[in-house]
Amino acid sequence: MLTHLVWLRNDLRIHDNSALYAACRSEGARVLALFIATPGQWQSHDMAPKQAEYIWQNLQSLQQSLAEKGIPLFLQQCDDFDASVTLLQDFCREHRVDRLFYNYQYEVNERQRDAAVERTLFDDEVMVQGFDDSLLLPPGSVLTGSREMYKVFTPFSKAFVKRLKEGLPECVPAPAVRPDGPLSTPDALQPFDYPREAFDDRLFPVGEKAAIARLREFCQQPVTEYPDKRDLPALDGTSRLSACLATGVLSPRQCLHRLLKQHPHGLDDTRVFVWLNELIWREFYRHLMVAFPALCRHQPFIKWTRNVRWREDAALLQAWQQGKTGYPIVDAAMRQLNALGWMHNRLRMITASFLVKDLLIDWRQGERYFISQLIDGDLAANNGGWQWAASTGTDSAPYFRIFNPTTQGERFDLSGEFIRRWVPELSRVPEKYIHQPHEWAKKNQQKLDYPAPIVEHKQARQQTLDAFEAARKQMD
């Protein structure tokens, strides 16, 4: 009997899992599944303890679902990706594996590891098969007329939709129960050796069933209201599916098909499409990362921005991280991140802009801090978002377009409902002054236990413009 091994990574599901489906196609084979924890590597990638806990809980749920199909899940641990190559080889030898199946990861370190695995297992005569799985369309399949990767989002999105209209990517079913029948209750998995931190599972669904239920629910009514609500952080107006997508508890194909089942004209319906377009942003940044691998190494897309002279100021960085900048919307947002491991998209843009454009701190410091906190941390989306906000990336707003943190607060949290939720020090401040609380305190001779703004926006803006202009001139 042949033995097939499915190596699970960021595809923690049994439905629409290309590698798992392929491994189970032959009824005659014995199928095993393996997840390798690499704490040293995760540490070097700054993985958030909340994401580690999310992975851990989903592995337990996945072990149960796989066991019901007659597939045992093994969890093993080694320090880093290099060590995982040897671990995998030993595992294959021990279990007499004939074929290995896995879904591609597109980051540089991951691709190097996979190439090493292929070479090593080739020598052992284990056949290795990889699949494009974490995207709607594979990297390199949506190109300009001159067969290059798009560098601007809107034409990419248009070309992407055209491709979808030519033929939708299919979802594959969950595997059938293996002929030998379901296994008895599996032994409990041994937790991996990486700091884990609790998260709120009412906000971030654990296990495929809960993720699919959230997706279904969102694709009914909320998706039609998304265009009106998605920019208002006080409302629960977005799907909160990012952790599921980042760890592969859900696939983007499942999202697409559920959306179109509920709204068959979703590709043309301008309201429903707004949400799908966000999934296309996710694709854009992943396709970009494959086309320009230097992005994985935190290089700016626009080369001259390397010359920007960033400010080194640990106290300012810490004030931003802790939500103590004196700008209410920025502080509320950072506290949401620190408490939940998640931040609303509009606020990610505002806080990123503040760090880079008001504090003139290198965007990579912010990128790193976000990844170290986010339950949905994803290199491509995070890097793309940061480079967009810092005006160093593709599609970035021109560098001279700088968010004003006070007016952003007024536009997107007018009454201050969100701010009051996260910054209780401001609970007494009347609505009219919630975005400039010190003005109210001064007028009314009140004492506020809240920091004064750590920079003056107008001045900071000018300083940033000068720094970018000087960097650009250096290239001339």
Catalytic residues: 278, 281, 310, 345, 363, 386
Asked if 360 and 471 count as a contact pair (C-beta separation under 8 A), the reply is no
Is residue 376 at the binding interface for ligand FAD, with CB under 6 A as the rule? yes
For residue 85, give the nearest of 107, 104, 112, 59 by alpha carbon. Answer: 112
Residue 77, SS3 per DSSP: strand
Among 110, 358, 378, 413, indicate the residue that binds ligand FAD (CB under 6 A). Answer: 378
Residues 6+ apart with CB under 8 A from 119: none
Is residue 150 at the binding interface for ligand FAD, with CB under 6 A as the rule? no
Interaction residues for ligand FAD, span 345-374 (CB under 6 A): 345, 348-349, 352, 370, 374
Residue 40 or 227 having the CB closest to ligand FAD = 227
Q: Determine the residue with CB nearest ligand FAD.
A: 385
Residue 113 or 214 having the CB closest to ligand FAD = 214
Residue 70 or 205 having the CB closest to ligand FAD = 205
Residue 114 or 376 having the CB closest to ligand FAD = 376
Residue carrying structure tokens 């991140």? 337
Q: Is 115 exposed, middle or buried (0-12, 13-18, 19+ CB in 10 A)?
A: exposed
Residue 121 or 289 having the CB closest to ligand FAD = 289
- Stretch in the footprint of ligand FAD (CB under 6 A) among 166-174, 274-282, 291-299, 429-437: 274-282
For the CB of residue 150, give the shortest distance to ligand FAD in the complex, in Å: 15
For the CB of residue 96, give the shortest distance to ligand FAD in the complex, in Å: 38
Helices (H), 133-251: 153-166, 208-219, 222-229, 242-247
Is residue 246 at the binding interface for ligand FAD, with CB under 6 A as the rule? yes
For the CB of residue 408, give the shortest distance to ligand FAD in the complex, in Å: 13
The CA distance from 76 to 149, in Å, is: 38
Is residue 5 at the binding interface for ligand FAD, with CB under 6 A as the rule? no
**Ramachandran area for residue 304 (φ above 0: left; ψ -120 to 50: alpha; else beta):** alpha
Residues 6+ apart with CB under 8 A from 179: 27, 70
Residue 102 or 363 having the CB closest to ligand FAD = 363
For residue 366, give the amino acid letter. Answer: G
Residues 6+ apart with CB under 8 A from 23: 4, 5, 6, 29, 31, 99, 101, 175
For the CB of residue 395, give the shortest distance to ligand FAD in the complex, in Å: 10
Contacts with ligand FAD by CB under 6 A: the residue count is 28
Interaction residues for ligand FAD, span 386-405 (CB under 6 A): 386, 389
Residue 95 or 298 having the CB closest to ligand FAD = 298
Residues in contact with ligand FAD, shown as a per-residue x/- string from 24 to 43 under the rule CB under 6 A = --------------------
Residue 226: both structure tokens together: 């998304």
DSSP strands (E only) in 114-270: 127-131
What residues form DSSP beta bridges with 37? 77
For the CB of residue 101, give the shortest distance to ligand FAD in the complex, in Å: 25
Asked if 41 and 109 count as a contact pair (C-beta separation under 8 A), the reply is yes
Residue 261 or 432 having the CB closest to ligand FAD = 261
For the CB of residue 100, give the shortest distance to ligand FAD in the complex, in Å: 28
For the CB of residue 86, give the shortest distance to ligand FAD in the complex, in Å: 30
Asked if 415 and 434 count as a contact pair (C-beta separation under 8 A), the reply is yes
Is residue 336 at the binding interface for ligand FAD, with CB under 6 A as the rule? no
**Ramachandran area for residue 118 (φ above 0: left; ψ -120 to 50: alpha; else beta):** alpha
Residue 312, SS3 per DSSP: coil
Among 104, 131, 285, 369, indicate the residue that binds ligand FAD (CB under 6 A). Answer: 285
Among 102, 281, 369, 422, indicate the residue that binds ligand FAD (CB under 6 A). Answer: 281
Is residue 381 at the binding interface for ligand FAD, with CB under 6 A as the rule? yes
Strand order in the sheet with 3-8: 73-77, 30-37, 3-8, 99-103, 127-131
For the CB of residue 284, give the shortest distance to ligand FAD in the complex, in Å: 7
- Stretch in the footprint of ligand FAD (CB under 6 A) among 76-84, 207-215, 375-383, 409-417: 375-383
Is residue 132 at the binding interface for ligand FAD, with CB under 6 A as the rule? no
The CA distance from 332 to 336, in Å, is: 6
Residue 212: both structure tokens together: 């699919």
Is residue 385 at the binding interface for ligand FAD, with CB under 6 A as the rule? yes
Whats the size of the chain, residue-wise?
A: 476
Among 13, 196, 282, 435, indicate the residue that binds ligand FAD (CB under 6 A). Answer: 282
Interaction residues for ligand FAD, span 182-241 (CB under 6 A): 230, 238-241
CB 44: neighbour CB atoms within 10 A? Answer: 12
Query: What does the DSSP 8-state code read for residue 147?
Result: S
- Stretch in the footprint of ligand FAD (CB under 6 A) among 78-86, 149-157, 384-392, 447-455: 384-392
The CA distance from 299 to 362, in Å, is: 12
Interaction residues for ligand FAD, span 67-86 (CB under 6 A): none
In the structure, how many helices (H) and strands (E) does the chain have?
A: 20, 5
Helices (H), 220-322: 222-229, 242-247, 252-262, 270-291, 314-322
Binding site for ligand FAD (CB under 6 A): 230, 238-242, 245-246, 278-279, 281-282, 285, 345, 348-349, 352, 370, 374, 376-378, 381-382, 384-386, 389
